[in-house]
Amino acid sequence: MREPPLFTGTPFYKGSIQKILDNACRDAEKYVTNNIDGVLIENMNDVPYVQAKHLGPETTAVMSLVCGEVRRLVPSSIPCGVQVLAGGNKEAVAVAHASGLQFIRAEGYVFSHVADEGFTDSSAGELLRYRRHLGADNVLVFTDIKKKHSAHAITSDVSLEETARAAEFFCSDGVIITGSATGDPANPSQLTGWYHSLIQQTCWYHSLIQQTCWYHSLIQLTLLNYSVATKKVCSVPVLIGSGVTAANLSDYLQANAVIVGTHFKHNGQ
């Protein structure tokens, strides 16, 4: 995953779009040099996040510029994707379509939840209609389920497996399972029984922060159990969206892809 510096319009923007482009291209070159299987670009540094309805056009504009530059730099054999935080799924489809990207990462696809930026409702119906409206059906939509940094009390009677099944029913191209926060490992047992589908070129990656506290092994064990259960109920690809490290990668070999970001960095760089 590539996380450009703060975007224009955000509270801590430093006033240099060129620096954003330079940093994004520098990191993309490093990933290509080290034989990464895919590139995911997201505006992770644009804190505090706002809901999609409050995103300004400047976010979509700068993200399109960054994604276009990265796409031109990265060989066409390497798939590229985008996520627009928070919940900017339509914006992500538009950016991907304009920039020649192959996929997006979407949150709030099925069911509702409460995230740190507020209430997020399901978006699948509106999103896929918008994708068709743009003529962007070639842009795959990978969707977080029971996403991190969120409270799911409103759907406490809906299991992860049922959520995965609902995402598939609503035409998701693949589901992403995570821990409870960036860096928390997903449960490998959630994977068992899932159909290993067609994504042959890709190994997407997301941010992680190596856990040093005493409950790390407990979190990993719990997520392992979830992974086993979820993989039994869906035929779409499953991606691991947080907490993957060199030390625990073997736990996720049944996944179709893993998303890794911070683990590739040193002191945030």
Nearest to residue 146, comparing CAs of 104, 168, 117, 175?
Answer: 175
Q: What pLDDT does residue 149 have?
A: 77
Domain ranges of the chain: 17-264
CATH for the 17-264 domain, from 3.20.20.70, 3.30.450.20, 1.20.1440.120, 3.40.367.20: 3.20.20.70
Of 53, 40, 46, nearest in space to 20 by CA: 46
Q: Which of 123, 65, 133, 122 is nearest to 95 (CA)?
A: 65
Position 252 pLDDT exceeds 50: yes
Whole-angstrom CA distances from 209 to 67, 86, 215, 265 are: 25, 20, 14, 10
Three-state DSSP at 162 gives helix
In this predicted model, which residue has the larger pLDDT, 104 or 197? 104
- Rounded Cα distance between 147 and 154, Å, is 13
pLDDT over 70, % of the chain: 75
The reported pTM is 0.80
202 compared with 98, residue with greater pLDDT: 98
